[in-house]
Amino acid sequence: MTRTTRPFVEIDRVSMRFGGIAALCDVSFAVPERAIVGLIGPNGAGKTTLFNCISRLYQPQSGDIRVQGKSILHAPVHEMPAFGIGRTFQNLALYPALSVEANVMVGAHPLVNCSALAEALGMPWARRAEASARARVREVLEALGLERQASRLVAQLTYADRKRVEIARALVCRPRLLLLDEPAGGLHHEEVAVLAALIRSLRDAHGLSVLLVEHHLNLVMTVSDHVVALDFGHKIADGPPAQVRNEPAVQKAYLGEMDDAALA
């Protein structure tokens, strides 16, 4: 699939404070169409706050966020599905006592798009919408190699498979932008390599733009086309992985956080 440099998302001078804490200070960068952009920074740098602004959980005090040129911050929250943003959460936000299929079905809710009454009464259009959402869920489970786990409870899965379920749920509504919040957290070395291949293949197969928050720097540097680094809410670097890795401000921000090998 051809990549372009046209921005899919533009973060434009976004600032967000929590009382006296400046979590984001005038942060600007773009996620080009079909690009994988890694967002790095030490603990407390502002990465999750930015994700929460893009998914409209937080409203920044100033700046704008545009998807294909249209401001999401000025759009009503119920219009958000139309912007095509899917996300996963740092601490898995799954229902352990429900099946894999049921968990992914939760993400398909916007596809059903019928009143609760129509669903409860089993109206024909509600049944058709639900059948089509179930078909989509099965398609995504298959794409992620989870089809044989569909009826298992999430509580019975390995941690790596739970992470896949989160990604499946984020994909079910056919997003154009996938926000991945620490997908490698808690994974073993080999599982991280599998994850890297999965992220690339999802981008290639579906033409997705991906914004990846990750502490696993080797994964970020391997998989990203472009890397943005934050520190104390400020953008300190923005460029190709090799350039950002060697940026003195990035090296300094990480000093003491992790061994130098992570950045070598």
Ligand X SMILES: Nc1ncnc2c1ncn2[C@@H]1O[C@H](COP(=O)(O)OP(=O)(O)OP(=O)(O)O)[C@@H](O)[C@H]1O
| Footprint of ligand X (CB under 6 A) | 18, 21, 23, 41, 43-49
Nearest distance from residue 24's CB to ligand X, in Å? 8
* For ligand X, the closer CB: 101 or 181: 181
* For ligand X, the closer CB: 104 or 244: 244
Nearest distance from residue 72's CB to ligand X, in Å? 18
Asked whether the beta carbons of 86 and 170 are under 8 A apart, the reply is yes
Nearest distance from residue 14's CB to ligand X, in Å? 12
Which one, of 36, 5, 40, 7, lies nearest residue 226 by Cα?
A: 36
* For ligand X, the closer CB: 49 or 149: 49
Largest CA distance in the chain: 63
Tokens 């990549």 sit on residue: 3
In angstroms and rounded to an integer, the radius of gyration of the C-alpha atoms of the chain is: 19
* For ligand X, the closer CB: 17 or 134: 17
* For ligand X, the closer CB: 43 or 59: 43
* For ligand X, the closer CB: 49 or 209: 49
Q: What share of the chain is helix, strand, coil (3-state, %, to 5)?
A: 40, 25, 35
Distance CA 212, CA 89 (A): 11
Nearest distance from residue 41's CB to ligand X, in Å? 5
Neighbours of 257 (CB within 10 A): 12
In 96-207, where does DSSP find H-type helix? 100-107, 109-112, 116-120, 124-143, 159-171, 189-206
Asked whether the beta carbons of 203 and 210 are under 8 A apart, the reply is yes
Nearest distance from residue 9's CB to ligand X, in Å? 17
Distance CA 37, CA 6 (A): 13
Q: What is the 3-state secondary structure (H, E, C) of 207-225?
A: CCEEEEECCCHHHHHHHCC
Nearest distance from residue 93's CB to ligand X, in Å? 15
* For ligand X, the closer CB: 108 or 184: 184
Tokens of 148: 């044989």
Nearest distance from residue 17's CB to ligand X, in Å? 9
